[in-house]
A = this chain, B = another copy of it.
Amino acid sequence: MVDITQKQNTHRMAIAEAIVQVSSPETMQAIANGEVPKGDVFEMSRAAGLLGVKKTAELLPDCHPLPIEFTAIRYETKNLEIRIEIEVKTFYKTGVEVEAMHGASLVALNMYDMLKPLDKGVEIRHIRLLQKRGGKSDVG
């Protein structure tokens, strides 16, 4: 684990995205119409993502625990794709990129779990960092 004891707190932000791809327009309609039997796909997956961001350091051995001071999850749908964007912020000695990536993956996995009874062809694509601010280098 990198030694961060001598570093200063600074404002950190990271935005990650994940793409969930379904295999038929009926799946997208079921989501939009609130007809997925397991519940509201967007709200339940938001809950999974908010909790997941906070559990990142518990799952990844080398990741520093840090105070999650803001998380927002936004959705966009287009054709057969749901685009998940997750933004995480902290005021601490190290960044929140991995937390944002982890949150994005959990939102996507929860959609997979909720949609599996309806659609066997759901896949997760392109979990990637879109932006970060704070620390030695900005990205995006």
Q: Please tell me if the beta carbons of A137 and B120 are within 8 angstroms of each other in the complex.
A: yes
- How many copies of this chain are found per oligomer? 6
Distance between A32 CB and nearest chain B CB, rounded to angstroms:
15
Per DSSP, chain A at the interface is mixed
12 contacting pairs across A/B (C-beta < 8 A): A1-B70, A2-B37, A2-B117, A39-B43, A40-B40, A44-B61, A47-B48, A51-B59, A55-B59, A98-B109, A120-B139, A123-B128
Residue numbers of A with Cβ under 8 A of B are: 1-5, 11, 37-40, 43-44, 46-48, 50-52, 54-55, 57-72, 89-91, 93, 97-98, 101-102, 105-106, 108-110, 112-114, 116-117, 120, 123-129, 137, 139
